[in-house]
Structure 1
Amino acid sequence: MIHEILPVGQLQCNCSIFGDETTREAIVVDPGDGEDLDTIQDVLARNGLTVKAIFITHAHIDHIGGAAKLKALTGAPVYMNDHDLDLYDHLDMQAQWLNMPPPERTGIDVDAGDGDALKLGTTDFHVLHTPGHTQGSLCLFIPAEQKLVAGDTLFRDSIGRTDLPGGDGHQILSSIHTKLLTLPEETRVICGHGASTTIGREKARNPWLR
């Protein structure tokens, strides 16, 4: 499995590009705010990959702002949880917070929910609904790769902020304890920003989870 992690956009969101080496199909997770779409395209072209799905962990502008442009370029459907549609409807307001021009919007093609699955080649990607950072926050667990794409739910030594619209401190802790910390401890966690970690490390050392 090809997997490249690209910090993209003004807030350096970690965009994950997963590619199947046989089918040459790809899933792009969180294409950022749209500023670094050329970098994403370069990775796809270098690996000869065709995007089959654009997966959004949550509807904050630094994760979803580039979705419309990437969909226009690739024709791939956009997956997001419908609980974040209201956030997505307020991209203009989010852009004002960051003093950046509002990005284009696109329709959400698939309402991704807890227990859903995507398949890339023979590899299954399991959707986990982990509300708290936003009401529609999602993670992707890939058992065969021992990886979790956590969006802004879980970070190395921290958790996602809950002081923005849709955030809930009790809810995010419940999501982490019931959905994420139950995964194998060797699972590598690709966070929405910053360094990766493992489930075992966060269970042992994350001060927010004690």
Structure 2
Amino acid sequence: MTPPPTSSASSASSDVGRASDGPDPVVPVPVVPDVWQLPFPVGHVYLVRLSDGGFAAVDTGVPGSAPAILEAVTRLAGKPDALRQIVLTHSHVDHMGSAADLVAATGARVLAGAADAPAVSGAAPEPPPALTAAEAPLLEQVQSGMAEAGTPPLKHVRVDDELHDGDVLDDWPEPAHVLHVPGHTPGSTALHLPAAGVLFTGDLMATGPDGRVILGPFNVDREVAIASFRRLAALPGVDTLCVPHGIPVRTGAARALAAATPETDWL
């Protein structure tokens, strides 16, 4: 089943088919120094402490997640408007879903891959995924779960800064290297902190119930996504994977990536 325009969802492992609990508190979980996970039922959010003491959010969860994110920022910084930056790994509803509300509340700047910026802003429709036989019922389950949970409609948001491969975010705890990794969406973006060994993967990667690193489902071009997965897997010194779906890999990511078989996932 093809997702409706601007409403495609991406999920893997135990969070499939459930939607965010909205304003209920989500306690920040430390991952590495200066990085916290907000474990939402669909589409985890990561908070990163910036060099000026403010915070960046990597993705924003489904629509309705903004109150929980702002509460988490307040827990860490003492005030919600410490959220200064929103980095969207891609344009799907479980990643950009609360960006507009967060911008309205805090004035944070939105950064997204250049090729996904039109879908984020609403200037172009969301390209549909090319589903495998295994992915089609999974996507229907995800969409049904979000509808049953009463997920609010998606609001589009302006992209303040379009990201390109090789860009560097200098205001992070260490320079964050931007990687254009298409395949899941045309503008999918990963962020690499080489000194810390941390990789924010976007939906190119997820973890399954057994902890194995897998290819994320619902890709617009499966072969391109696999090539992007292999590019990320070849990065040197990666020890921590901040995945949006499943459990983050806090240590030993290089071994997990070496054992991954994205070519055979979701077939």
Q: TM-score when scaled to structure 2?
A: 0.68
Work out whether 1:102 is the aligned partner of 2:156: no
Identify the residue that residue 118 of structure 1 maps to in structure 2: 169
Distance in 2 between the 1:85 and 1:66 partners? 15
Let me know the Cα RMSD of the aligned residues: 2.4
Q: Which range moves more in the overlay, 22-31 or 110-119?
A: 22-31
* 1:135 pairs with one of 174, 178, 186: 186
Distance in 1 between the 2:253 and 2:112 partners? 24
Letter in 2 for 1:36: S
Distance in 1 between the 2:184 and 2:240 partners? 20
Q: Which runs of 5+ in 2 are unaligned?
A: 1-32, 129-142, 208-212
Report the Cα offset of residue 117 of structure 1.
1.2
Task: Tell me the SS of whatever aligns to 1:200.
Answer: helix
CA shift digits 1:7-29 (9 cap, x unpaired): 23xx5211000114x63111111
Q: Which range moves more in the overlay, 198-207 or 52-61?
A: 198-207
* 1:46 pairs with one of 75, 98, 106: 75
Q: Does the 8 A contact of 1:29 with 1:56 survive in 2?
A: yes
Distance in 1 between the 2:183 and 2:67 partners? 32
Identify the residue that residue 160 of structure 1 maps to in structure 2: 216
Work out whether 1:194 is the aligned partner of 2:246: yes
Report the Cα offset of residue 64 of structure 1.
0.2
Work out whether 1:29 is the aligned partner of 2:58: yes
Q: Does the 8 A contact of 1:181 with 1:199 survive in 2?
A: no
Task: Tell me the SS of whatever aligns to 1:139.
Answer: strand
- Moved beyond 6 Å, runs of 4+: none
Letter in 2 for 1:117: V
Identify the residue that residue 45 of structure 2 maps to in structure 1: 15
Q: Does the 8 A contact of 1:203 with 1:209 survive in 2?
A: no
How many residues are paired up? 200
Distance in 1 between the 2:202 and 2:94 partners? 11
CA shift digits 1:20-54 (9 cap, x unpaired): 4x631111110111322222112211222622210
Identify the residue that residue 230 of structure 2 maps to in structure 1: 177
Distance in 1 between the 2:92 and 2:172 partners? 29
Residues 177 and 102 (structure 1 numbering): CA distance in 2 closer, same or farther, change over 3 Å?
A: same
Residues 161 and 122 (structure 1 numbering): CA distance in 2 closer, same or farther, change over 3 Å?
A: closer
Q: Does the 8 A contact of 1:58 with 1:138 survive in 2?
A: yes
Task: Tell me the SS of whatever aligns to 2:159.
Answer: coil
Distance in 2 between the 1:203 and 1:121 partners? 25
Report the Cα offset of residue 209 of structure 1.
5.3
Task: Tell me the SS of whatever aligns to 1:177.
Answer: helix
Report the Cα offset of residue 120 of structure 1.
2.8
More strand by share: 1
Identify the residue that residue 133 of structure 2 maps to in structure 1: none
Percent identity between matched residues is 28
Identify the residue that residue 208 of structure 1 maps to in structure 2: 262
Q: Does the 8 A contact of 2:59 with 2:89 survive in 1?
A: yes
Q: Does the 8 A contact of 1:37 with 1:70 survive in 2?
A: yes
Residues 2 and 205 (structure 1 numbering): CA distance in 2 closer, same or farther, change over 3 Å?
A: same
Report the Cα offset of residue 130 of structure 1.
0.4
Q: TM-score when scaled to structure 1?
A: 0.84
Q: Which has the higher contact order (CA 8 A, sep 6+)?
A: 2
